[in-house]
Structure 1
Amino acid sequence: MSTSYAKIEGGGSLLLAWQIKNKKVLIVGGGNVAAQRIVSVKIGDADVTVVSPKDGLIPEVEDRIAQGEVHWLNRRFRDDDVEAMDMVLTAMDDHKESLRIGRLCRRLRIPVNVADVPDMCDFYFMSQHRDGPLQIAVSTNGRGPKLANMIRSEVIQSLPPQAGDMVYYMGILRSKVREWEPEISQSSKRMRWVTQLCEAWGLHGMGKWASAAAKDPALVDRLKPFYDSNDIPTLEMIL
């Protein structure tokens, strides 16, 4: 008996939330693109080093160096700069040198992004929205960065205003549920109950709950009797 499954459409990217906390990231260049890259990787708490002569730094990058947010090598790139690096990002005007650095990283199996050269990128930077623990990203796989920004804006407008708080308090609720019933054997029950709660209240209901929980954290614990009895309360029963 044969089973028909949906055809897998290739040509995309593997979208991941890459955990780079304390990972060593090298950024080659000190201009506007470098400034954007610094923000992108520091959001993930990476250990960032910028290599660029002083005359190649824009004020924003200079300020981040002065504040100690990134390390700085005041010179041009050297091949041994990539040693012990977990990620390399080129953000410079010298196209030939950028390609050379990209090829070097490929040989050494170091993930690399060469600005504005999609074929030399092991990964792309997506158009992002950040609201506390909530991160939303849109990728066009290097084909249309401006279009990605436009799509992201449309998506953001559809979210409830408390979206970030909603994610934050959902994380607290999940931790509480694990405290209420920590046995591994109950993991399916925990997941099912939290899922059913989200579906019953919907995004806007979860947003109202999160706004109220921000003022009264005890609202999270008010859900425990319903979890214990495996019931899903209405939002009105909690608020």
Structure 2
Amino acid sequence: MKTLYIEARSKKQIPLNNLGRIKEKKIGLISTIQHLSQLPRVKAELENQGKKVFLAKGILTKYKGQILGCDVSAGLKIADKVRAFLYLGTGEFHPLALALKIKTEKPIYLLSPNGRLELFPQKKVEKFFKQKKAAYLHFLHENRIGIIVSIKPGQENLKTALFVKEKLQRKGKKAFIFLCDAIPFDELENFKCNVWINTACPGLQFEKNFLNVADISDFLNS
């Protein structure tokens, strides 16, 4: 069955009266597809305030400034040029994905559709790394490992899953591959796997006891 993907753009004009609270002079602009139409307005306003604004196109994205949960390279490409980032949108999923990738603790400002401006809390990053460390230690001691494979276009990595399964079995672990479209987190509790290796969307790493393949690469190659 063919799938038609349609961009859903918000027509709401985001209030910009709080942008003056940003003190940094070099700003990287990022957003999701819903609010990309607002980027030119925001860029112009920041430049009117004497700031230099940077945008870049990501690896998997179509537009400058656009980021995905699995591709924040639009931000990474300009990380060395900016002193702070400004994210247009809601929630902390995308800003957290960027914060985990940039090597320095550069401020990430969040501008919501209602014009509210706030600073993304660094403690969220610290909490995630603690969660990741706990999941990895759990993985080392767990014997039964589940491997998630998505059948969604662009996310299917069965070949990688089979490779991981073989490696884990050689190291004495029991590995099971689960193929699915939407990930049924509630149903996963029915299986006796307390740690899950994700080969689908990298954003699943934010779920408890989920690890991406890259997180266990040292173990697989040891």
Q: Same fold (TM over 0.5)?
A: no
Higher relative contact order (CA 8 A, sep 6+): 2
Larger helix proportion of the pair: 1
Name the larger-Rg structure: 1
When normalised by structure 2's length, the TM-score is: 0.29
When normalised by structure 1's length, the TM-score is: 0.27
Larger strand proportion of the pair: 2
